Amino acid sequence: MFVSPAYAQAAGGGLAGGLGSFVPLILIFAIMYFLMIRPQQKKMKEHRAMVDSLRKGDQVVTAGGLIGKVARVKDDGIVEVDLAEGVRVKVRQGTIADVINKTEPTS
């Protein structure tokens, strides 16, 4: 009979085989970091800097969509915003979504 002997293939490559299976996971994490996590952290940092630089007279938009002028910035993270004549509301600094018009700093 014409039967050739069958040889078993060597089992996994040990350390090289185990490390080789983690390379795609590491690459996926690196791609996710540079495409999603890093830009979001940069955006949060810019927003924090914008909120910290608020001063009286700035025209702002709150997270709720209200547009008004900053009347007073308190130290405890509260901003008083004038929405209309005689209408003043207190909002948290973190809820300021955007600054429309910045006032010039007084020297």
Specify whether the CB–CB gap between 44 and 36 falls below 8 A: no
Task: Supply the pTM of this predicted model.
Answer: 0.66
8 Å CB contact between 27 and 39:
no
For residue 38, what are its two tokens? 């890093």
Q: Write the single-letter amino acid at 24.
A: P
**pLDDT band for position 104 (50/70/90)?**
confident
pLDDT per residue over 32-75, tens digit each?
Answer: 999 999 999 999 999 999 999 999 999 999 999 999 999 999 98
* Structural domain boundaries in the chain: 15-101
Tokens of 83: 């929405």
What is the dotted CATH code of the domain comprising 15-101? 2.30.30
Residue 13 has pLDDT above 70, yes or no: no
